[in-house]
Chains A and B, each alone.
Chain A
Amino acid sequence: MTTPARPADAAAALLAAALGPDRVLVDSATVRQYSEDITEIPGHLPDLVVKARSTAEVQTVLSIAHGQGLPVVPVVANLNIGGLAIPERGGIVLDLAAMNRILEVNEPDQYMIVEPGVSWGDVRAKLDRDHPRLRFGYSFSPPHTSVMTNCLMDGLCNLSLLHGSTSEWINGVEAVLADGTLLRTGGGAWSRFWCTNSPMPDLTGLFINFQGATGVVTRMAVQLWPNRRLRRRLFVLAYDVDAAYGFVKSLMTEDVCDDIGGVTWPVIKLLFGQARPLFRDPGEPLVALYFDITANDERLMAAKRAVFADALAAARARGGRFDDPLDIEDLVKIEPRFVKFADFPTRFDFLLDHPGGGLTWIGSYGPTSQWEQGIRAGMATMEKHGFPPIVVTRPMRGGHFGVLRLITTFDKRDAEEVRRVRALNEALADVVVEHGFIPYKTPGWVVKRYAAQIDPGFLKVARAVKHALDPKGILNPGRWTLE
């Protein structure tokens, strides 16, 4: 018997023996599929792909990788926007998509336990079918993408105005460390009810926003919320940024809306099937705001809508120009493609399905006090670089902070356009950081660009945490400059 020369070959042989050869994929077509995402960030080939089906198998994979000192990058849908799942140092891509069970829905205690491969669509179908009293929040991600990865990376969704970013909903996780050690965090570390992260010391945080660099999460307990019988989604078209966001701010603290969001004019044109380049008619609205209002009781719904109408009247009295609210149901009657905004999860094919298929963004969280300036600066930067100013905004957690996401679609086959997009994203990152926002799902290049601004004590402790949990630095290396 010969000994494989490379750690990757040795790991592949050991993994094939442990899991079966059909679960360890080394053919060039497969590994190429896992080498890049839809962004402008350069791809890199992994050495092999392993498809795990259980926590025990994840432990096996990490134990073997740890022994060989081989990098491991966990993925599910491979649709990350930010290059976070690109195996930039090769090694193993650990595909967790087949771990797709909803292990428990605890209706009285309002939580569920999911595996990494559980998608938004899975959760919606399960709750609608078996637990209509409960609801979950849904991101703008396509329905087949992972709930867990969104939560672990502080995602945002249509209940984030009420409940904050999705990591705040996590009651605890089961995770496998680099050497195969298994642990549970949150209430599930002690109780058989995983209904809260409190009052345990918050080890769950060791796995949030570390982008898979501290452990591979194999289960997550996450909160669910009471469903509402009545729901209205209203669109209001606004004609200037200050008026639009003055209106949003007046409502975001009023406990009236489950969700408030804003998209700039190119989004609606893309929805109508228009292709780049996009031009704005001078008379067109600048921002489409949408508002979700829900209630279980008609009287409460009427009261909420009255407060909404008063806020709109006040915004107009301050000089803001708005069209009257348009009900999403009417918009769908006018143009069926508006159904993509009617309910979630949804697939924004107009962002994903276009020649070249490139999609990227600088998404950020930051102070709503700086929203208007940040939006204007972001739009101006995008136009200066020759791209339509696609901006998505959303107040979070009662307005304590807000989303500023600057989105670019591009032709990934066009090397020159890819170069322009990289330059644009660098400029946009500067814009958001200058306005006090922090890029979320933070790409490695962003961390490097602003490393000098990040508190050195923070980085020292973050690196110590990484070293304690992953001493050989095999887990998704390159994130947060942790190695």
Chain B
Amino acid sequence: MPVTCITPERSSLLSFFLQSLLGRKAATPAGARALAGFDRRILVRAGEMQVTLACRDGAIEIHPGAVLPWDASVGGDLATMLGLGLGHNFLLPLLTGRLSFSGNPLPLLTLLRLFGAPDPAPSPAAATATAAPSLPTPPSLSPKA
């Protein structure tokens, strides 16, 4: 399996969300190409949860907490991070401070290639729902630097 949680019993929800998101994408040919030769550590923060993605040999290990040294970090509130994971545009949250990054941006661009909605898994609820106006944007949480 290309994406594994290290010590899953101690892993946070962020680990499991990332494992789901990245796991299915990494298993595709495009994902495998993105991971090929990619040897980096990326710290991901969502709210007060943080995990380190250790990418190496075409696989990703998700470690609980911050594992030093990391090459880059990206963080925001959980909803923003999950939106990023689903492939939503990252520019607006970046410009409004809901998303922040530090370190070498190149690994983050590779990570973005592994994001985006995986294969659709339609929900029964979707069958009865139609588009509704977006929620007015509530006050945002300050992402951790």
Q: Which residues of A contact B (CB under 8 A)?
A: 229-233, 237, 239, 265, 268-269, 272, 274, 277-279, 281-285, 298, 301-302, 305-306, 308-310, 312-313, 316-317, 321, 323-326, 328-330, 332-336, 338-339, 342-343
Chain B residues 1-38 with CB under 8 Å of chain A are 8-14, 16-17, 20-21
Q: Do the beta carbons of A326 and B135 come within 8 Å of each other? A: no
Enumerate chain A residues within 8 angstroms of B121, measured Cβ to Cβ.
332-333, 336, 339
Q: Do the beta carbons of B135 and A308 come within 8 Å of each other? A: yes
Enumerate chain A residues within 8 angstroms of B133, measured Cβ to Cβ.
298, 301-302, 305
Chain B residues 125-145 with CB under 8 Å of chain A are 125-126, 128-130, 132-133, 135-136, 138-141
Q: Do the beta carbons of A269 and B132 come within 8 Å of each other? A: no
The residue that A305 contacts in the complex, of B125, B126, B130, B132, with Cβ under 8 A, is B132
Closest to B134 in A: A305
Q: Do the beta carbons of B138 and A312 come within 8 Å of each other? A: yes
- B52 at the binding interface (Cβ < 8 Å): no
The residue that B48 contacts in the complex, of A283, A312, A317, A342, with Cβ under 8 A, is A283
Q: Which residues of B contact A (CB under 8 A)?
A: 8-14, 16-17, 20-21, 47-50, 64, 77-80, 82-83, 85-86, 117-118, 120-126, 128-130, 132-133, 135-136, 138-141
The residue that A324 contacts in the complex, of B10, B64, B138, with Cβ under 8 A, is B138
Closest to B65 in A: A281
Q: Do the beta carbons of B128 and A229 come within 8 Å of each other? A: yes
Say whether, besides A269-B16, A281-B11, A333 and B120 are in contact (CB < 8 Å): yes
Besides A229-B130, A284-B14, A312-B138, 11 more A-B contacts (Cβ < 8 Å) are: A230-B130, A232-B132, A281-B11, A284-B12, A298-B130, A302-B133, A306-B135, A313-B138, A324-B138, A328-B123, A342-B126
25 CB < 8 A contacts A-B: A229-B128, A229-B130, A272-B13, A283-B47, A283-B50, A284-B13, A284-B48, A298-B130, A305-B135, A306-B136, A308-B135, A309-B135, A324-B140, A325-B79, A328-B123, A329-B123, A329-B129, A330-B83, A332-B123, A334-B82, A334-B85, A334-B118, A335-B16, A338-B123, A339-B124
The residue that A343 contacts in the complex, of B14, B117, B124, B132, with Cβ under 8 A, is B124
Enumerate chain A residues within 8 angstroms of B140, measured Cβ to Cβ.
324
- With the chains together, A450 CA to B145 CA distance in Å? 54
Closest to A314 in B: B138
Say whether, besides A323-B78, A326-B82, A334-B20, A281 and B135 are in contact (CB < 8 Å): no
Q: Do the beta carbons of A281 and B82 come within 8 Å of each other? A: no
Say whether, besides A230-B130, A281-B10, A343 and B64 are in contact (CB < 8 Å): no
- With the chains together, A285 CA to B12 CA distance in Å? 9
8 closest A-B pairs by beta carbon, nearest first, are: A283-B48, A324-B79, A281-B12, A343-B124, A342-B123, A336-B121, A283-B49, A335-B20
- With the chains together, A330 CA to B138 CA distance in Å? 19
Closest to A330 in B: B86
- With the chains together, A330 CA to B79 CA distance in Å? 10
Enumerate chain A residues within 8 angstroms of B50, measured Cβ to Cβ.
283
B20, B118, B135 interface centre (most CB from chain A within 10 Å): B135
- With the chains together, A333 CA to B118 CA distance in Å? 7
In whole Å, how far is B109's beta carbon from the nearest beta carbon of chain A? 21
